[in-house]
Amino acid sequence: MARQIEDEVEYYYDSHPTEEDEMGETADHALLVNYLMAVLTWLFHGQLCAIYENLNFYQTPNKNERPIAPDIAVIQGVVFRRVKSWRVGVYGPAPQVVFVIGSEETWAKDLGEKVWKYARMGVEEYYAYDPNDPMLSLSRREGQRLFGWHRDPATGLMEPLSLNDQGQLWSPRLDSYLVPDEQYLRLHNSRGEPRLTREQAEALRADVEAEARRMEHLRAQAERQRAEMEARRAEAEARKAQAYAERLRALGIDPDQLL
């Protein structure tokens, strides 16, 4: 059971829907959120890190404060707790990384006022992605699906990021490239290799182990064949030596005297 937090507040919007809560979720939105949650959970497994989906974040004790609820929030350095919401500075720090997945109703806010709201909260990295087909109008106007901002610790302001030549963004906190892939947003390591989900990693490990067993079987088979060939060669040499010795004896020569 989660321990009681001093000065804990029963926030109105933890039990009442916001406008965003009342909007429907598209299949593309749900697929991408589920995929990113799986990748991030495996990326940080074994580390002290809490990853939340659509959790309300608050910054004041005002019970009527409207929350900010990113689709995904990554909070490093804290243990995952089953909480209704997260009050920054009381439950722990602000998320270091947040993801928002675009929808027609909120995309303008996601690329506009949400940027300074996350900066004010103390979020270090903010990424917004449009998985829709066709892309939303603001995305089409900019010619890209992926948008990102990093918080400048000196000014406290979010600075917009430019995509690299491959259309990617680098996340220092995730130690990963963010790689647009139509309805998916992939994570790659610094070598360009895709970050995996637990299921993918286990399947890959099983494939590697199966390949190792196959190669070991082939090596053992080759070793047996080599041993058999060596045995046949030795047997042929022995027969040849015996025939030579018999010819010498036929000529009255003792082959043992030649040694």
Tell me what percent of the residues of the chain surpass a pLDDT of 70.
94
Judge whether residue 207 has pLDDT over 50: yes
Question: What is the predicted pLDDT for the residue at 23?
Answer: 65
Question: What is the predicted pLDDT for the residue at 259?
Answer: 57
Range scoring the smallest mean pLDDT among 41-45, 121-125, 253-257:
253-257
Question: What is the predicted pLDDT for the residue at 1?
Answer: 38
C-alpha distances in Å from residue 213, one per residue of 6, 210, 222, 224: 57, 5, 14, 16
**Burial of residue 246, with CB atoms counted within 10 A of its CB: 0-12 exposed, 13-18 middle, 19 or more buried:** exposed
Cα-Cα end-to-end distance for the chain? 90
Residue 92 · residue 169 · CB < 8 Å: no
Query: Predicted confidence band at 49 (pLDDT cuts at 50, 70, 90)?
Result: very high
Whole-prediction pTM value? Answer: 0.79
Looking at per-residue pLDDT, the higher value among 2 and 159 belongs to: 159
Judge whether residue 39 has pLDDT over 50: yes
Among all chains, which residue has been given the structure tokens 């270090």? Answer: 124
Looking at per-residue pLDDT, the higher value among 211 and 77 belongs to: 77
Computed over every residue of the chain, the mean pLDDT equals 90
Using only the alpha carbons of the chain, give its radius of gyration.
Answer: 33
Judge whether residue 25 has pLDDT over 80: no
Question: What is the predicted pLDDT for the residue at 5?
Answer: 53
- Calculate mean pLDDT across residues 214-233: 84
Judge whether residue 4 has pLDDT over 80: no
3-state secondary structure 50-63: EEEECCEEECCCCC
Q: What is the DSSP string of 197-231?
A: -HHHHHHHHHHHHHHHHHHHHHHHHHHHHHHHHHH
Residue 146 · residue 167 · CB < 8 Å: yes
C-alpha distances in Å from residue 247, one per residue of 236, 238, 240, 243, 252: 17, 14, 11, 6, 9
